[in-house]
Structure 1
Amino acid sequence: MTQTEYLPTGDQIVQELPWRWKVQGKIFLIGGLGFMFDAWDVTLNGVLIPLLSDHWDLAPAQAAWIGTANLVGMAVGAFAWGSIADLIGRRAAFTATLLVFSVFTVLGAFAPDIVWFCIFRFIAGFGLGGCVPVDYALVGEFTPRRQRGRVLTAMDGWWPVGAALCGFVSAGIMATIADWRWTMLVMVLPALLVFWVRRSVPESPLYLVSKGRTEEAERVINSLVERTGGTVRKWRLPDPEQAPRLSLGNVFEKLGQVWTFNWKITAAAWALFFSILLVYYLALTWMPRILIGAGFESARAFLTTAGMAAVGILGVVVAAAFVEKTGRKWILAVTAPLSGLILVLVALVIEAPAAVVFWLLAYGFMVQVAIPVLYAYVSELYPTALRGSGFGWASTFSRIGAGFGPLIFVSVLWPNLGLAWSFALAAVLVLAAVLWMARFAPETKGAELH
């Protein structure tokens, strides 16, 4: 082994830099704003279902397609953009996702009927679906190893912000303008502003290193060392790799690589994403309609759902505080099944408004302890070459479940089993996923990214 081979690699240098808000913090803020719009848009499905049910006189099974089209579009976007980000770079994918979302959100607001509305919502979801895997890959690869767990966990703090904003803004719009189209249009201008700001974000140095783009990687890494005040020392690049060309075959090749890397770990990631987010999206999509059916006025239902989302900010704070102390697996093992159980309690006390509000707030807190830890955990299970794809495909699987799960929930489960047993079935799926994780997936606290 030569003396050069004893030097640390560029990606190791990045992971050991000090944290600076003006450097890595800027990436965290810009990435988080995109994540906020993801939350806002998903929460908007729950607002639009009762509004468009009245506007177009939709049956519950028809109204369910409002959320399903959007979430299935996000599912397709999650795997497509995650894999594309691994192929063409985080920065290019990071910038384009919000532009697609903005254009087709505007078109959806002026859709003439439910069919065209669902088509436009699908395409808008495709654009926005790329935000989560791409943003987590980019932010994670800029973040020093010592802070990575807290930073990736804190990323999910943008989710309850976006979900709460959706509820509060929608309630305000319907109380004043009373036009459902403005609940969509109000998102577009800030989304376009974030799209413009994203153009200033540099490419991920870990991505450049993995692709052998040596001159670019050296410039980015040296700039990071200088701007953070890190220790200046010699480092080396690994042997260059041949960057693959973008093609549909490459995208699905990544799926195969995700499973051949370690099928037990991938099964754990997919099961956790599917079950935990199914429970969350069931509540987010149908809770306004459930509350209205229980006697809540529309504005109060939207505000209650917004409160459920807003209290999740405290959950994210708790998750960020404990994720590096207890590790990822223990937090998920406790909070994920409890979230499902609390949702069952909501169904059991649905006729008691005060109790419903209490348990919804408890649910909003508990589930937002679990979800940010889930995102941080799954993003750390894969090596650099598969990080975007690994997270993206797991997110895809969860979006498919979140898209079709509420459709099955309102068409089959709820009418035949009742609300409480339907939520209980989802909670059992969470418990099964957690048990599989406990047996087959590793703890990633403090692990180096490779």
Structure 2
Amino acid sequence: MASAETAGAGTGRTVTTDIPARLDRLPWSRWHWTIVVGLGTVWILDGLEVTVVGNIAGRLSEPGSGLAISSGQVTGVAAALYVAGACVGALFWGRLTDRYGRRKLFMITLAVYLAATALTAFSFEAWWFFLFRFLTGFGIGGEYAAINSAIDELIPSDYRGRVDLIINGSFWVGAVGGSLLSILALNTDLLAADLGWRLTFALGAVLALVILLVRRHVPESPRWLLIHGRDREAEEVVAGIEERIEAEKGAPLPAPHGEITIHQRRTVSFAEIGRTVFARYPKRAVLGFSLFIGQAFLYNAITFGFGAILTAFFQVPSGHTGYYFAVIAVGNFLGPLLLGRLFDTVGRRVMISSTYLLSGLLLFGTAWLFDRGTLDATTLTACWCAVLFFASAGASSAYLTVSEIFPMETRAMSIAFFYALGTAAGGISGPLLFADLTGTGEVGDTVLAFCIGAALMCAAGLVAAFLAVNAERRSLEDIATPLTAVPGKPGPAAQNGRPDVTPPSSSPA
């Protein structure tokens, strides 16, 4: 329960509450599955969208497609605009998510994504296609900030790591679907050349509409409500969740342990966000930078030129590269699915550093085998699968990390900032570097591309080995004390017999 220690309504009050502890002690239930489906499945759409566009680029440039555009414009200009939209959207919506709430923003950002995707299907000129690719990215960038912050604040601490990893890794389920769907869409025996690609975008819009309907049942984060002076609403939300879960389990819930005292407020300035991330938590900022940059360059080293590599070195027909990509995408999803639980049991530091280091070392090994000429298309794809099995778990943990290691009031903006940084590095500097290397047709240049990605991934793994935060099975308020927490008041960890590791008056790493 929440109790006000000073009189008055709304913000400006000091409140002692056990709401975070009550959320964290909940057993897994059907209600939590509703959260996963309502919030997490949008990454499947993102994976489908990105993969389909890459695979249908050739069809769009053909006569009779109904759109006067070149393949280079689709994979170059349109892809860059999508990336730019995602970066701008993450920062724009991230700020609003921290200020106006998780629920309001994840409804708006999905609506933007839905509308932009649907309107892309009606493209009649290149400028229209470019505009709505940017707006699609603008919506999906906001989803990363709003969704990851909401999920981490609603999922119990014992399950937060695995759930976050699997949800972020579900991008690759969409990538598998996108690869197979593009094969169907490009089959002119089934669909006209000017219709098939349009239907793929229309399908994405329909799926987004279904997810939007499910999201209506997802509540606002009680943690956000509590800090923003709406503790009565927070109490109602948590009490409703507890009633549903008790009815499902047929037994009373265990008693919560721990309270936190906060001074409610509505907004946090950009200056305070900057001081928090870079002055109060400088080592954590370095960790976030390292994880996002490492995974961005590794993925570009492999995926940016994968089709060209298969075609140039192993004579795989361009129409068949989608099958190989589907196999790689399966490997990507299996990593978070099978390793996710270990992030909650073995621990964050061990798992983050080991997945980054293993993927980097395996890519070094792949580069060595490729240089020796001992690989064919099948064995190279198998090597990529092994690399990405670990890399995908590591990349997903980057989103988990920046979501849980900074205070509640800056959570969405922190996710947005590091996501925009990694996306820009991967979508701008990555392609500029790797396009020249993988496009030459020279074995040595492709080996160099692999080695650059592998080296940066290993470097990020070493940073994680020293700087990663042991956040497994801990309350978010324990990992990073809210900026609104009252100094000198015990937090959740202290009430459970552990010292609060990040008191507001200290300057933690």
TM-score exceeds 0.5: yes
- Match of residue 339 from structure 1: 359
* In structure 1, distance between residues paired with 2:301 and 2:271: 29
Q: Percent sequence identity over matched residues?
A: 26
- Match of residue 26 from structure 2: 17
* In structure 2, distance between residues paired with 1:285 and 1:83: 31
**CA contact under 8 A between 1:46 and 1:284: conserved in structure 2?**
no
**CA contact under 8 A between 1:319 and 1:373: conserved in structure 2?**
no
Matches within 5 A, 1:290-305: 290-294=309-313, 295-305=315-325
- Match of residue 264 from structure 2: 241
Matches within 5 A, 1:111-126: 111-126=123-138
Change (3 A) 1:260 1:44: farther
Q: Which moved more, 1:384-393 or 1:280-289?
A: 280-289
What one-letter code is carried by the residue in structure 2 that aligns with 1:108? T
**CA contact under 8 A between 1:96 and 1:195: conserved in structure 2?**
no
Please give the secondary structure, in 2, of the residue aligned with 1:130.
Answer: helix
Please give the secondary structure, in 2, of the residue aligned with 1:180.
Answer: helix
**CA contact under 8 A between 2:305 and 2:435: conserved in structure 1?**
no
- Match of residue 498 from structure 2: none
Extract unaligned runs of 5+ from structure 1. none
**Higher helix residue share:** 1
Q: 1:190 aligns with which of 207, 223, 242?
A: 207
What one-letter code is carried by the residue in structure 1 that aligns with 2:48? W
Change (3 A) 1:252 1:28: farther
Change (3 A) 1:18 1:268: same
Task: Please give the per-residue CA displacement for 1:272-318, whole angstroms capped at 9, x wherever unaligned.
Answer: 11220332245344423443444222342112101211233321222
* In structure 2, distance between residues paired with 1:78 and 1:290: 32
What one-letter code is carried by the residue in structure 2 that aligns with 1:431? C
Matches within 5 A, 1:412-431: 412-415=436-439, 418-431=445-458
Matches within 5 A, 1:156-235: 156-175=168-187, 176-177=190-191, 178=193, 179-229=196-246, 230-231=253-254
- Match of residue 290 from structure 2: 271
- Match of residue 462 from structure 2: 435
Quote how far apart the aligned CAs of 1:57 are: 7.0
Task: Please give the per-residue CA displacement for 1:360-389, whole angstroms capped at 9, x wherever unaligned.
Answer: 332342322322333323322112112222
Quote how far apart the aligned CAs of 1:63 are: 3.2
Change (3 A) 1:343 1:188: farther
Q: Which moved more, 1:399-408 or 1:165-174?
A: 399-408
* In structure 2, distance between residues paired with 1:102 and 1:281: 27
Q: 2:384 aligns with which of 355, 360, 367?
A: 360
Q: Which of these two proteins has the greater Rg computed from alpha carbons?
A: 2
Q: Which moved more, 1:373-382 or 1:80-89?
A: 373-382
1:28 aligns with 2:36: yes
Quote how far apart the aligned CAs of 1:222 are: 1.3
* In structure 2, distance between residues paired with 1:411 and 1:33: 31
- Match of residue 46 from structure 1: 54
Greater RCO, 1 or 2 (C-alpha within 8 Å, sep 6+)? 1
* In structure 2, distance between residues paired with 1:112 and 1:292: 31
Task: Please give the per-residue CA displacement for 1:227-286, whole angstroms capped at 9, x wherever unaligned.
Answer: 2222477997744522129xxxx5676345432331221121122112203322453444
Paired residue total: 443
Change (3 A) 1:116 1:67: same
Q: TM-score, normalised by structure 2?
A: 0.79
Q: Which moved more, 1:250-259 or 1:26-35?
A: 250-259
Q: 1:392 aligns with which of 397, 410, 416?
A: 416
Q: Which moved more, 1:184-193 or 1:361-370?
A: 361-370
* In structure 2, distance between residues paired with 1:233 and 1:334: 34
Quote how far apart the aligned CAs of 1:225 are: 2.0
Q: Which moved more, 1:201-210 or 1:256-265?
A: 256-265
Quote how far apart the aligned CAs of 1:28 are: 1.4
Q: 1:154 aligns with which of 134, 141, 166?
A: 166
Quote how far apart the aligned CAs of 1:106 are: 2.7
* In structure 1, distance between residues paired with 2:125 and 2:309: 24
* In structure 2, distance between residues paired with 1:76 and 1:100: 14
1:283 aligns with 2:292: no
- Match of residue 306 from structure 1: 326
Change (3 A) 1:407 1:281: closer
RMSD: 3.0
Please give the secondary structure, in 2, of the residue aligned with 1:423.
Answer: helix
What one-letter code is carried by the residue in structure 1 that aligns with 2:332? G
- Match of residue 488 from structure 2: none
* In structure 2, distance between residues paired with 1:254 and 1:434: 26
Extract unaligned runs of 5+ from structure 2. 6-14, 247-252, 478-509
- Match of residue 317 from structure 1: 337
Quote how far apart the aligned CAs of 1:434 are: 2.3
- Match of residue 507 from structure 2: none
